[in-house]
């Protein structure tokens, strides 16, 4: 009996926590313990709604490199970087998933500025710190211009080598240092693209000192003159390269280059081995967007927008309200059926079902799970499976009582013998959910992923509520109503 009381305490505490998490306006806990303005302890709680509920933007990105030029891990890393970018833009319910072996699908529910979102997630953001030493007054003429660097040339050589199925040898890589004449081959030929400028002193590509891979963090802020700048910190590896270079070039200009465009060319004032500042004629939006791109990292492979479409909510607010109302009515009908047909065990089942619903709602917000219409359907089906488990248990208890066994034996046998059936049926369905989820990763079939996730989560939670929670409530009810139940088996549904 003591074990059931301990389980009851745990269930009550867990339910209270889940009810708190499930509150519509709850955003979680965010504590600043040392008053430094940064969150030290936090629990993020948010409800993610899919495109079919709130509308938004769906973007399909295609890798620009040919097959074989990158691995599936490169594509996943690009997807992770894209996810960090769109989430930092404030698109809280964005979903980013790899589609096939060369595509990334991005869904941005409730997005307000589609063009900004597309520009942010697509841009490669190749940041370079480039040696401008010895240029003198020519530095001013290069600001805002597209220049050719050794890093860009190396990347282009690698792409060309893959396309021609030629291995990039160390000799080909070292040719970056001396292949000034290759600049014309790398320069875009389209009239809309500015011509990449080589170093006017040598005719060779400008020397890249360090790329954005050496950055640890980047934050947009205002300087003392009210201009927007990006403050950055270096990794230990970046500092090991950047520190000696800046120490040897004090008084010389160094260019900060993003995707080949010179943002600014400040003069090195001191040794920079931990971090520094990127300055330029930035607006607030440009500074924050650049800082975001630098924080989330350069995309390991270039991506182009294969398709982009604005999606309207397929369910209006009235339809959503009607769906919620229908779900509530369905749950009430199920609760009433269990109570009328199984009597006292039905009370335990009803309490367990309410706990099951609250647990699911909390898990959806804590993970978070993006709720689409198929995902909601998966959750409603899982409610039916939760009731199925209780029915198996109660029918087994009734069989034991009809066979003449006492109440305690019937309860023990009912749960023990029904467990195998509940376990096997739930796990077999979970396997199907896994197959559906994998199928949902292919292009055009992502709609089934949400259904598979919510149904699988419901089945897993059901293994806890249908056995542990129902057992606890039923044993406590039996302990309080033992004599009436022994004398009146109809209270047990027999």
Residues 155-168, buried b or exposed e (16+ Cβ, 10 A)?
bbbebebbeeeeee
Q: What is the pLDDT of residue 327?
A: 83
Q: Is residue 43 part of a domain?
A: no
Average pLDDT over residues 451-457: 93
Q: Given pLDDT bands bounded at 50, 70 and 90, which one contains residue 345?
A: very high
| Residue 263 sits in the same domain as residue 131 | yes
The CA distance from 149 to 126, in Å, is: 11
User: Measured at the alpha carbon of residue 384, what is the angle toward residues 379 and 387, in degrees to the nearest 5?
Assistant: 130
Q: What radius of gyration do the chain's Cα atoms show?
A: 31
Distance CA 287, CA 266 (A): 17
Q: What local confidence, expressed as pLDDT, does residue 177 receive? A: 44
**Based on the domain organization, do 191 and 272 belong to the same domain?**
yes
The CATH number of the domain holding residue 179 is: 3.30.1360
* C-beta separation of 276 from 249 below 8 A: no
Lowest-confidence region among 120-129, 135-144, 453-462, 476-485: 120-129
Full domain range(s) for residue 166: 127-283
pLDDT in tens, 28-52: 776 655 555 445 566 777 777 777 7
Q: Write down the pLDDT at residue 72.
A: 85
- 137 and 264 fall within a common domain: yes
Does 50 fall in a domain?
no
As a whole number of angstroms, the distance between CA 492 and CA 469 comes to 18
**Pairing of the two strands 228-234 and 254-258:** unpaired
Please give the sequence-ordered ranges of beta strands (E in DSSP) within 347-413, or none if there are none: 370-371
Given a cut of 90, whether residue 438 has pLDDT beyond it is no
Q: What is the pLDDT of residues 126-172, one digit of tens each?
A: 778 899 988 888 888 888 888 999 988 887 776 676 556 444 444 44
46 within domain boundaries: no
* pTM given for the model: 0.60
* pLDDT classification of 441: cutoffs 50, 70, 90: low
pLDDT at 120: 67
Q: Does residue 80 share a domain with residue 167?
A: no
How would residue 118 be classed by pLDDT, with cut points 50, 70 and 90?
A: confident
Does any domain span residue 44? no
Residue 367 and residue 440 in one domain: yes
* Nearest Cα residue to 43 out of 59, 56, 22, 27: 27
3-state secondary structure of 207: coil
Claim to verify: residue 376 and residue 460 sit in the same structural domain: yes
The count of domains in the chain is: 3
Q: How far is the C-alpha of 345 from the C-alpha of 350, rounded, in Å?
A: 9
The helix or strand, by DSSP H or E, that contains position 226, with its residue range, turns out to be: none
Pairing of strands 48-49, 370-371: parallel
Indicate the pLDDT class of residue 178, thresholds 50, 70 and 90. Answer: very low
Q: How confident is the model at residue 355 (pLDDT cuts 50, 70, 90)?
A: very high
Most confident of 146-150, 198-202, 247-251, 350-354: 350-354
CATH at 65 = 3.30.70.3400
Q: What is the CATH number of the domain that holds 422?
A: 1.20.1640.10
Whether residue 368 is found in the same domain as residue 480: yes
The Cα–Cα gap between 94 and 477 comes to: 46
Does residue 29 form part of some domain?
no
Residue predicted with more confidence, 377 or 459:
459
The answer on 108 and 131 residing in a single domain is: no
Q: Are residues 113 and 239 in the same domain?
A: no
Is 478 domain-assigned? yes
One domain for residues 62 and 194: no
Helix (H, G, I), strand (E, B), or coil: what is residue 112? coil
Let me know if residue 162 belongs to a domain: yes
Instruction: Mark whether 344 and 474 lie in a shared domain.
Output: yes
Residue 86 counted as domain residue: yes
120 and 137 assigned to the same domain? no
What is the reported pLDDT for 171?
45
Q: For residue 326, is pLDDT > 70? A: yes
DSSP E strand boundaries for 110-214? 127-131, 208-211
Sign, Cα dihedral of 231, 237, 240, 245:
negative
């Amino acid at each position: 009996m003591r074990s059931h009381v301990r389980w009851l305490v745990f269930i009550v505490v867990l339910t209270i926590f889940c009810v708190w998490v499930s509150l519509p306006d709850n955003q979680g806990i965010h504590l600043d313990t040392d008053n430094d303005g940064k969150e030290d302890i936090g629990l993020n709680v948010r409800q993610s709604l899919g495109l079919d509920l709130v509308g938004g933007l769906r973007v399909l990105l295609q890798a620009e490199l040919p097959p074989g030029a990158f691995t599936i891990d490169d594509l996943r890393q690009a997807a992770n970087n894209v996810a960090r970018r769109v989430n930092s833009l404030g698109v809280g319910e964005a979903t980013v998933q790899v589609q096939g072996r060369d595509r990334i699908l991005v869904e941005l529910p409730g997005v307000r500025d589609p063009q900004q979102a597309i520009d942010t997630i697509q841009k490669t953001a190749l940041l370079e710190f480039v040696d401008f030493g010895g240029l003198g007054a020519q530095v001013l003429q290069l600001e805002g211009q597209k220049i050719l660097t050794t890093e860009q040339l190396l990347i282009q050589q690698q792409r060309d080598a893959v396309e021609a199925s030629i291995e990039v040898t160390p000799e080909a890589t070292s040719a970056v240092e001396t292949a000034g004449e290759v600049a014309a081959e790398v320069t875009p030929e389209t009239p809309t693209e500015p011509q990449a400028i080589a170093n006017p002193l040598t005719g060779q590509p400008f020397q890249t000192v360090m790329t954005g891979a050496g950055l640890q963090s980047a934050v947009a802020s205002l300087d003392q003159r009210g201009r927007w700048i990006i403050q950055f910190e270096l990794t230990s590896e970046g500092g090991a390269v950047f520190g000696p270079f800046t120490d040897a070039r004090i008084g010389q200009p160094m260019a900060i280059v993003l995707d080949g465009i010179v943002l600014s060319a400040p003069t090195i004032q001191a040794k920079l081995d931990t971090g520094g500042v990127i300055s330029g004629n930035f607006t607030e939006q440009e500074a924050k967007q650049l800082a975001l791109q630098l924080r989330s990292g350069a995309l390991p492979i270039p991506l182009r927008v294969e398709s982009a479409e604005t999606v309207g909510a397929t369910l209006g607010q009235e339809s959503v309200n009607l769906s919620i109302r229908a779900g509530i009515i369905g749950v009430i009908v199920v609760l009433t059926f269990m109570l009328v047909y199984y009597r006292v065990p039905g009370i335990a089942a009803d309490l367990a079902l309410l706990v099951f619903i609250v647990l699911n709602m909390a898990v959806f917000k804590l993970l978070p799970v993006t709720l689409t219409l198929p995902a909601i359907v998966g959750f409603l089906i899982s409610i039916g499976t939760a009731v199925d488990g209780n029915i198996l248990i109660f029918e087994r208890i009734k069989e034991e009582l009809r066979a003449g066994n006492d109440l305690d034996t019937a309860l023990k046998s009912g749960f023990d013998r029904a467990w195998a059936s509940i376990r096997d049926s739930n796990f077999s369905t979970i396997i199907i959910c896994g197959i559906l989820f994998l199928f949902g990763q292919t292009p055009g079939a992502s709609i089934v992923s949400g259904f598979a996730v919510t149904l699988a989560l419901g089945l897993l939670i059901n293994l806890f509520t249908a056995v542990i929670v129902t057992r606890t409530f039923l044993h406590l009810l039996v302990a309080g109503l033992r004599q009436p139940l022994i004398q009146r088996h109809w209270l047990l549904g027999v």
